[in-house]
Amino acid sequence: MHITKFFTLLFAASFFSGISAADHAFQDTTLADNDRVESLIRELTLDEKVALLSTDLGVPRLGIPHCWQVEGLHGLSLSGPGKESRDTIPTTIFPQAYGLGETWDPCLVRRIAAHVAEEARYYSHIDSGRRCMLVMRAPNADLARDPRWGRTEESFGEDPYLTSVMTVAKIKGLQGDHPRYWQTAALMKHFLANSNEFGRDSTSSDFDSALFRDYYAYPFYKGVTEGGSRAYMAAYNSWNGIPMAMHPCLDSITRKEWGNDGIICTDGGALGLLISAHRSFTSRAEGAAAIVKATTGQFLDKYEEDVREALASGILTEDDIDRAIRGNLKVALKLGLLDGDNQANPYFMSEAPAVAPFMTDYARSLAREAVAKSVVLLKNSPVGGGNPLLPLDKSKIKKIAVVGPYADNIVQDWYSGMPPYEVTILDGLKKAVEGTGIEVMYAPDNRMDMASRIAAEADVVIVCTGNHPYGTKRDWFFCPVPSDGREAVDRRSLMLPDEDMIRQLHAVNPNTVLLLVSSFPYAINWSNDNLPSILHVTHCAQEQGNGVADVLFGDVNPAGRTTQTWVRDILDLPPVMDYDIRNGHTYMYNSNKPLYPFGYGLSYTDFAYGDLSSRISDGNLVVDFSIANTGSRDGEEVAQLYLSVDGGNVYKLKAFRRLPIKAGDSEKVTFVMPLSELGDWNEAARDYAVLPGSKLYLKVGASSADTRLNATITTD
């Protein structure tokens, strides 16, 4: 069980000051949602309406409790590196969003999100006055089109389809399955095309409407229309010269076309940046009016004086505010905040569970599973003509040398919470070999040849190195290593700083494994050419050590896959500010041979594909094929289908599935894809439908660069 449902009221009677459900029409749950919202708007004073332009959904006079936003990218973030509070407020911490993307497992992502939502409800119950935070700033639906982007760690990857599937899974997990109520509200970030940090407060991301529909906006579109999200945050940057906080497309496309009748909020300080950075207006009142008129209904900024000045001068009206805050109230309704003393909301708690959700066995096992499923095996070659180095055989090892800055150190990023405990990689390896007589030695680095000495003694060396997320530094621009990045700072290099240390260790022990602990891809050409085994895992997860040990010793067969193209050289990338991805960004358009392609990852077993067939049925493209596990170990494969329409050179991911297959067994895979979703955006028809008579070219396989089966079919 991962969601505890209780059927009585969350908030103490003191919040409602004796108000009963009959006192206000908006509390009548038999009315239609829109009628309830309109009824509430009629009861609000102008001061209350202005107050609702903040991130607080509460209206105390009417018995609507305070409720704020909270970060939730890979765990509930109530305390941690980026928080002012000195309180220790533990929550379950999972791998970074980039690592969750590398699982290629939307069902897992949904289970994780559901657990995060349960913790949010738990804290809202035990401390409702301060920690009723049910609007979750997650998922990040931005696309990681360039590995130099400083916030790559927050994204699921570079592909719009993969990111949309993970986005939808995260939203459904956060919001729950109830037909009327949400457990939490999923607020996507950052609409739109926010993938440069340097100059993000003033730059413009320029591209045409086709890329808007097919690439940058696609995960947000699916998040609203398929996931059911009714909230998102506008990005700092402009699109084609108009700042996103006030862009007309917020209303004309996301509200009127997609149906987002919920929250649109600015990013932090965006109102001031309209004047100081974008220089769109000369006064804050003008900026505030433009934001509200765009139907952006929440400011993450000081705004009240500016809104009142705009009202007084006539450039903003009360009707404009009504239009902007309607969505806030709709979200409050879905969270059950408008119900008064009604007890129908299944997510309200009458009492705290006996065991806090972050301390359950389920939370620990879920975090461990997430780590193991996120690990990407990038290389695993035979050593000395024998078997591959991984998985490690405990019967053949007496000493393991564990080296590097992240061997005994789990680093939390800016949007992490505070885990109740941490299992480092060193901890996990020691635990995995308990009772075997295997000695685990450790050195954080190679000063005074410490690492080289233990490497020379060991049977195998595991080097744990990568980037530092700098979540503990409140200086936004503190990021001294060029290949590191964080919010506000893009990467200026793709080189791995510790590769010289790796070379030294490999020189004394060829059985050297690189465990890259990082938020980004690296151009690790020397390591790829010389080391026998390389794995990738991201930061932050409280069960990092146990999950990694599960993979290293073969208790879990790795099946993580890359979600970005890992280029060989920074010169293989176009300029970072070129937002026209057709000029060489992503696996779809970069013609250089990658170090590791999109969708790539190895296993401890082998898989064979066959029996491909395709047909058009009831408006769907149906593709069948089989996958056989031809190796000696049980494992999981991630089957991927790429599609090109009418013979174009660009193949795009259109379906995938991660599935377990026992050694010697074969599984049939069927992908059913609506023809209405398979094409590029057609502006004339205003849809994604494939036209009748189109020729569809299919590739099925293990990555974007390793397709095993091909077919062509013509639509009716």
Number of C-beta neighbours around residue 482 at 10 A: 13
Query: Among 80-89, 478-487, 604-613, 649-658, where is mean pLDDT lowest?
Result: 80-89
Q: What is the pLDDT of residues 547-581, one digit of tens each?
A: 999 999 999 999 999 999 999 999 999 999 999 99
The answer on pLDDT for 6 being more than 90 is no
Instruction: Provide the pLDDT for residue 2.
Output: 40
- DSSP summary character for residue 150: T
Q: Is the pLDDT of residue 179 over 90?
A: yes
Q: Which H or E element spans position 273?
A: helix 270-276
Lowest mean pLDDT among 48-62, 125-139, 253-267, 518-532: 125-139
The whole-number pLDDT of residue 474 equals 65
H/E/C letters for each residue in 448-471? HHHHHHHHHHCCEEEEEEECCCCC
What are the C-alpha distances in Å from 620 to residues 114, 362, 611, 614, 615? 31, 38, 19, 10, 8
The candidate with the shortest Cα–Cα distance to 292, out of 309, 278, 277, 276, is 309
**Stretch 670-679: mean pLDDT:** 98
Question: Taking 60 as the threshold, does the pLDDT of residue 351 lie above it?
Answer: yes
Kindly provide the residue ranges of all beta strands, DSSP E only, lying in 597-705, ordered along the sequence.
Answer: 607-617, 620-629, 635-645, 652-661, 666-674, 695-703
Give the number of other Cβ atoms within 10 Å of residue 606's Cβ: 15
Q: What pLDDT, on a 0 to 100 scale, did the predictor assign at position 85? A: 57
Residues 108 and 370 sit within 8 Å (Cβ to Cβ): yes
Structure tokens at 360: 């359950």
- For residues 405 and 469, give the distance between their C-alpha atoms in angstroms, rounded to a whole number: 13
Gap between the Cα atoms of 701 and 638, Å rounded:
8
DSSP string, 205-248: E---HHHIIIIITHHHHHHHHTT---EEEE-SSEETTEEGGG-T
Q: Which residue has the tokens 């579109």?
A: 221
Confidence tier at 52 by pLDDT (50, 70, 90): very high
Angle at 73 between CA 68 and CA 76, to 5 degrees: 55
Rounded mean pLDDT of 153-178?
Answer: 98
Mean pLDDT of 196-221: 98
Mean pLDDT within 234-255: 98
Q: What is the mean pLDDT of residues 179-202?
A: 97
Instruction: Reduce the DSSP state of residue 525 to 3 states and report it.
Output: helix
Mean pLDDT for the stretch of residues 30-54: 98
Residue 337 and residue 24 in contact, taking contact as beta carbons nearer than 8 Å: no
> What is 539-570 written as a DSSP string?
S--TTHHHHHHHHHTTSS------SS-B-S-G
Please give the C-alpha separations between residue 304 and each of 49, 73, 133, 277, 298, in angstroms, as whole numbers.
Answer: 11, 29, 22, 21, 11
* pLDDT above 50 for 623: yes
CB 327 within 8 A of CB 297: yes
Given a cut of 60, whether residue 84 has pLDDT beyond it is no
In angstroms, the CA 673 to CA 713 distance is 14
- Mapped to the 3 state alphabet, what secondary structure does 398-419 carry? CEEEEECCCCCCCCCCCCCCEC
d(CA 170, CA 265): 20
290 pLDDT above the threshold of 70: yes
Q: Are strands 652-661 and 635-645 parallel, antiparallel or unpaired?
A: antiparallel
| Residue 539, CA atoms < 13 Å, CB-side half-sphere | 26
Query: Are the beta carbons of 223 and 136 closer than 8 angstroms?
Result: no
Long-range CB pairs of 453-457 (<8 Å, 24+ gap) are 454/401, 454/403, 455/401, 455/403, 455/505, 455/508, 455/509, 455/512, 456/508, 456/509, 457/399, 457/401
Model confidence at 398: pLDDT above 90 = yes
- Does pTM top 0.85 for this prediction? yes
Amino acid making up residue 489: V
What is the token pair recorded at 284? 């804050």
Q: How many helices (H) and strands (E) does the chain have?
A: 20, 22
Instruction: Quick: pLDDT tens for 422-446.
Output: 999 999 999 999 999 999 999 999 9
What distance lies between CA 224 and its chain's CA centroid?
16
Q: Which of 5-19, 23-37, 310-324, 647-661 has the lowest mean pLDDT?
A: 5-19
Whether residue 190 is preceded by a cis peptide bond, meaning omega within 30 degrees of 0, is yes
Average pLDDT, the chain: 94
**pLDDT given for residue 473 in this prediction:** 59
How many other CB atoms are there within 10 angstroms of residue 685's CB atom? 10
Supply angle C-alpha 596, 602, 608, rounded to 5: 115
Q: What is the mean pLDDT of residues 83-106?
A: 90
Which pLDDT does position 15 carry in this prediction?
36
**Band of residue 716 on the pLDDT scale cut at 50, 70, 90:** confident
| Local structure of 34: helix, strand or coil | helix
| Sheet order of strands, 652-661 included | 652-661, 635-645, 695-703, 706-714
**Residue 614 scores a pLDDT above 90:** yes
Alpha-carbon span 102 to 713, nearest angstrom: 31
Q: How many CB atoms lie within 10 A of CB 147?
A: 22
> Which distant-in-sequence residues (6+ apart) come within 8 Å of 313 by Cβ?
285
Written as one letter, the residue type at 500 is D
- As a whole number of angstroms, the distance between CA 471 and CA 665 comes to 45
Dist. CA 160–CA 183, nearest whole Å: 27
Q: What DSSP string describes 700-716?
A: EEEETTEEEEEEEEE--
The pLDDT score that the predictor gives to residue 445 is: 98
Give the angle subtended at the CA of 173 by the CAs of 171 and 175, to the nearest 5°.
65
Q: Which residue has the tokens 């040990």?
A: 549
**Residue 461, both tokens:** 């060396």
pLDDT at 471: 65
Compute the chain's Rg from CA coordinates.
Answer: 26
Q: How many CA atoms lie within 13 A of 636 on its CB side?
A: 25
* Alpha helix positions (H), 127-147: 128-131
Q: How does residue 10 score in pLDDT terms, banded at 50, 70 and 90?
A: very low
What is the spatial distance between Cα 558 and Cα 604, in angstroms, rounded to a whole number? Answer: 7
Q: Considering only CA atoms, which of 448, 401, 447 is closest in space to residue 425?
A: 401
Candidate from 19-33, 255-269, 307-321 with smallest mean pLDDT: 19-33
Residue 226, number of CB atoms within 10 A of its CB: 15
Min mean pLDDT across 102-116, 135-149, 200-214, 340-354 is at: 340-354
